[in-house]
């Protein structure tokens, strides 16, 4: 039996790690290094190391994948923040040596792994859990004269706490403000291992002689959790490590080292608490900055909106005045066009009547001899145009000297009548074309008048909504801004 002080005690240690540190831890735990500074590691026995959870990649790759899958959140963390934690579960070497060695250690640490799952908050937050069986205990080995190996469990995990994200005042629905928007698993070593105050029988915090709150150290709680779980699982042949002290298992050097680790752990806890306070202050400052920026944006938006409304009012007023002028012009043009159209219609009607009359006259002229005589009488006296032949006048003389000149006179008159009729018809067609153009112009003017009336109506509604006083005030503000801009421009020109 190995030499022992008769008391076997559990030990649980925790350290927080950054991205910069995790590579060294991974190389040691997974035995990826070519050589080790610890001379007691026997690589020929590394195949005996037992993984209770085997990593699927490097620790950093697994962390990045968990973040990408939304299992964890690094919201608000600094680049050098602690992303990882490592717990080492241990009992003195003699305990395992006296209770079955390697096989007993595998059973013991299989149960210790279940304790780690509960402490961490779930197996999915554990990246690796490996029992080392290849580290030699030099003191016991020298005492017994043969190699004795120290069994212990390394658990690398992601420290997370549940965090509720609530709706802020920027939410459009006021009913949601202050309610839970989303629950995330926040990576935070400081909050994971935050020390709680010790409470008295009334449930109130206890204070020491200096008036400071007595804290139940988180690492002391870790010791309790590990021991309580193993005792509940039936391992009652081991005791909890002494509170407030570090167990000296084998050597003075180990004791000093573990004492220094405890001191560093406490300093680390204080540093983490300070970082947590600083992060909270930075979050509060960032929230205040965002609120100030939001207020500034809202003020700028309100100013821009006021300027836009001012410009719209000015444009609407100008358009209204222009519309009223154009409506009046359109009405005058429409009245003139109607008068011209009416005049053109009367002229066209008169021309049509003349054309009908001329056509009727020509038709009768060609068919009715009596009517021809009547028409000839309209041209001149019949006896003068066609005098009776003299007693001594031959037919040829009468034809050449009387009949033919008369016919020429009638023919010229008819040609002039036809030309006049043709001219009147052309004038009639031109008049009708002008009338159609005038009608189209009237229609366009009426459409334009309707559009300007709509604009004027919109401006009137705007006046009704804002009030004439507000509109006049905005006009005055706009004029003042223009005046200020002109003065500024003149000053700049003078400076140049």
11 C-beta neighbours (distance < 10 Å), count: 19
Residue whose entry in the numeric block shows the structure tokens 């006179």: 409
Give the pLDDT confidence score for residue 439 in this predicted structure: 75
**What's the distance, CA 156 to chain centroid?**
38
Nearest to 476 by CA among 487, 484, 488: 484
Low-confidence residues of the chain: pLDDT under 50: 1-4, 245-256, 259, 369
Question: What pLDDT is attached to residue 51?
Answer: 96
Print burial letters for 345-360: b (CB count within 10 Å at least 16), e (below 16).
eebbeebeeeeeebee
* 194-251 confidence digits (pLDDT tens): 877 777 788 788 877 777 777 768 778 899 999 999 999 999 999 887 665 443 333 3
CA distance 161 to 159: 7
Tens-digit pLDDT profile for residues 88-140: 999 999 999 999 999 999 999 999 999 999 999 999 999 999 999 999 999 88
162: left (phi over 0), alpha (psi -120 to 50) or beta: beta
Which helix (DSSP H) or strand (DSSP E) does residue 126 occupy? strand 126-132
Nearest to 235 by CA among 126, 114, 136, 130: 114
CA distances from 442 to 194, 348, 433 (A): 87, 20, 14
In eight-state DSSP terms, residue 389 is: P
pLDDT of residue 134: 93
> For residue 245, what are the contacts with CB-CB under 8 A and spacing of at least 6?
none
d(CA 277, CA 264): 20
Domain layout of the chain by residue ranges: 10-250, 309-495
Nearest alpha-carbon partner for 117 in 241, 8, 226: 226
> Do the Cβ atoms of 156 and 177 come closer than 8 Å?
no
Residue 458, CB-side half-sphere exposure with 13 Å CA sphere: 16
Return the pLDDT at 245: 46
Radius of gyration of the chain (CA): 56
CA 50 to the chain's CA centroid: 49
Q: Which residues contact 274 (CB under 8 A, 6 or more apart)?
A: none
Question: How would CATH label the architecture of 10-250?
Answer: 2-Layer Sandwich (3.30)
Q: How far is it, in rounded angstroms, from Cα 195 to Cα 212? A: 14
Q: pLDDT at position 385, please?
A: 58
Beta bridge partners of 128: 156
* pLDDT value of residue 18: 94
3 state SS of 6: coil
User: Of 44, 2, 256, which is closest to residue 142 (Cα–Cα)?
Assistant: 2
Q: Can you tell me whether residue 160 is helix, strand or coil?
A: strand
> Is the CB of residue 30 less than 8 Å from the CB of residue 130?
yes
Q: Which fold has domain 309-495?
A: Helix Hairpins (1.10.287)
Tell the residue number behind the tokens 């919109």, with chain if given. 458
Q: Give the separation between CA 371 and CA 360, rounded to whole angstroms.
A: 11
Exposed e or buried b per residue across 236-266, where buried means at least 16 C-beta atoms within 10 angstroms of its C-beta: eebebbeeeebbebbeeeeeeebeeebeebe
The secondary structure of 451-482, three-state, reads: HHHHHHHHHHHHHHHHCHHHHHHHHHHHHHHH
DSSP H helices, 92-205, are 93-98, 102-120, 138-144, 189-192
φ, ψ for residue 46, nearest 5 deg: -65, -25
Would you call 186 helix, strand, or coil by DSSP?
strand
């Amino acid at each position: 039996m190995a030499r022992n002080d008769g008391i076997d005690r559990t030990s649980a240690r925790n350290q927080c790690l950054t991205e910069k540190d995790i590579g060294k831890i991974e190389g040691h735990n997974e035995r990826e290094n070519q050589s080790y500074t610890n001379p007691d590691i026997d690589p020929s026995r590394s195949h005996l190391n037992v993984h209770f959870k085997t990593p699927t990649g490097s620790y950093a790759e697994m962390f990045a994948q968990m973040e990408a899958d939304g299992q964890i959140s690094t919201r608000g963390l600094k680049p050098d923040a602690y992303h990882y934690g490592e717990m080492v579960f241990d009992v003195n070497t003699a305990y395992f040596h006296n209770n079955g060695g390697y096989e007993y250690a595998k059973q013991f640490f299989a149960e210790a792994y279940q304790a780690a799952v509960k402490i961490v908050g779930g197996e999915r937050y554990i990246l690796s859990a490996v029992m080392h069986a290849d580290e030699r205990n030099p003191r016991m080995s020298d005492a017994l004269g043969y190699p004795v190996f120290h069994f212990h469990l390394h658990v690398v995990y992601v420290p997370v706490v549940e965090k509720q994200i609530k709706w802020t005042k920027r939410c459009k629905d006021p009913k949601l403000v202050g309610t839970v928007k989303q629950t995330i698993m926040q990576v935070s070593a400081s909050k994971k291992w935050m020390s709680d105050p010790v409470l008295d029988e009334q449930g109130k915090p206890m204070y020491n002689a200096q008036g400071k709150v007595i804290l139940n150290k988180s690492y002391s709680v870790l010791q309790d959790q590990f021991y309580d779980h193993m005792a509940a699982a039936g391992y009652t042949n081991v005791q909890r490590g002494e509170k407030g002290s570090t167990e000296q298992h084998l050597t003075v050097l180990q004791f000093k080292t573990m004492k220094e680790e405890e001191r560093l752990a406490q300093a680390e806890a204080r540093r983490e608490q300070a970082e947590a306070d600083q992060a909270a202050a930075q979050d509060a400052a960032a929230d205040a900055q965002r609120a100030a920026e939001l207020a500034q944006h809202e003020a700028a938006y309100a100013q821009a909106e006021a300027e836009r409304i001012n410009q719209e009012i000015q444009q609407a007023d100008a358009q209204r005045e222009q519309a009223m002028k154009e409506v009046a012009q359109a009405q005058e043009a429409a009245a003139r066009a109607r008068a011209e159209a009416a005049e053109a219609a009367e002229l066209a009607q008169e021309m049509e009547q003349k054309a009908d009359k001329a056509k009727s006259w020509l038709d009768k002229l060609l068919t009715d001899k009596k009517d021809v005589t009547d028409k000839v009488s309209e041209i001149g006296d019949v006896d003068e145009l066609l005098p009776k032949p003299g007693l001594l006048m031959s037919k040829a003389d009468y034809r050449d000297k009387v009949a033919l000149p008369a016919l020429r006179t009638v023919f010229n008159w008819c040609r002039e009548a036809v030309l006049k009729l043709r001219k009147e018809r052309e004038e009639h067609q031109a008049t009708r074309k002008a009338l159609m153009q005038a009608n189209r112009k009237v229609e366009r003017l009426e459409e334009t008048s309707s559009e300007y009336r709509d604009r004027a109506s919109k401006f009137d509604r705007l006046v009704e909504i804002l009030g004439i006083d507000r509109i006049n005030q905005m006009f005055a503000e706009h004029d003042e801004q223009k005046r200020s801009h002109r003065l500024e421009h003149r000053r700049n020109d003078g400076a140049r």
